[in-house]
Amino acid sequence: MDLIRILLAILLPPVGVFLQVGFGLHFWINILLTLLGYIPGIVHAVWIIARR
């Protein structure tokens, strides 16, 4: 399941984070990072998925 989340995190970072933590603080941080730059959103999403 983590592989699917990581693939989603690469394509749509907020979706990967949402599947891992739901509508929490990390989800909103990831949306902000994705809007500021796509790469920071991907890095944050993969970090959240790998950490849990």
pTM of full prediction above 0.75:
yes
pLDDT in tens, 13-37: 999 999 999 999 999 999 999 999 9
Angle at 26 between CA 9 and CA 43, to 5 degrees: 40
What pLDDT was estimated at residue 49?
94
What pLDDT was estimated at residue 2?
81
Which pLDDT band, with edges at 50, 70 and 90, does 1 fall under?
confident
Single-letter residue type at 19: L
Q: Which residues contact 25 (CB under 8 A, 6 or more apart)?
A: none
Average pLDDT, the chain: 94
| Number of domains composing the chain | 1
Residue 40 belongs to domain spanning: 2-51
What pLDDT was estimated at residue 19?
93
